[in-house]
Amino acid sequence: MNVLEHRFGAEKPLLVHADLRLIDAEGHQIHPSFHCCQGLDPQRDGLFEVGLQNVATGCALLVNRSVVERSLPFPDEVVLHDWWLALVAAQAGGLAYLPKPCSSYRQHQANVVGARGWRHQLIQRLLGVDVVRPDLAAQRLISPGLLQLRACLARFGPPESATRFERLWSASAWVRCSTALKLGLRKHGWWRTAGFYAALLCSRPSRHELS
């Protein structure tokens, strides 16, 4: 952080985040890298990339005062507070990654979020799809992240990106998907990206937070 502030100035919103090692409830290592286990590439730190896929974990990040001041107040659309902080830093181009585990992420039965492997996550999401209302399932899959990203664009801009982003809520599936492609929206890994576009094709994202 000192190096970044010396290079860019302390007034620039800056966030530094690191990898984590996964341990079980007894402290034994499950995996040496949280990001590898999740199939994430933390070097992809553009605004839209961070907007679609959070790579910063709260207990493994450091922000400067500028990030805090710009982040507050947290909008209602915030999905995860660490995700919002990363978005604010990414919008200003001040996101940096330290490629080594600096803390241990303990996994136990009471984890609120937890760190399941991507294959397990995929199976759980497929099992959780509502076969009666697949459109609603698609909305729940993509809406929260898009609403959070839209809130970031609404607050910080740029205006032209915010205007183009609104086309993701078009009634036309073709307009939604073509807009996402033009904006370069993609998640980490082909299966996550395919799931995102399939959901965008099946249903228009909700304009309001889904309970």
The β-bridge relationship of strands 15-23 and 95-106 is parallel
* pTM for this prediction: 0.85
- Give residue-wise pLDDT tens across range 171-206: 999 999 999 999 999 999 999 999 999 999 988 898
- Give residue-wise pLDDT tens across range 11-54: 999 999 999 999 998 999 999 999 999 999 999 999 999 999 99
- Here the tokens at position 63 are 């922000």
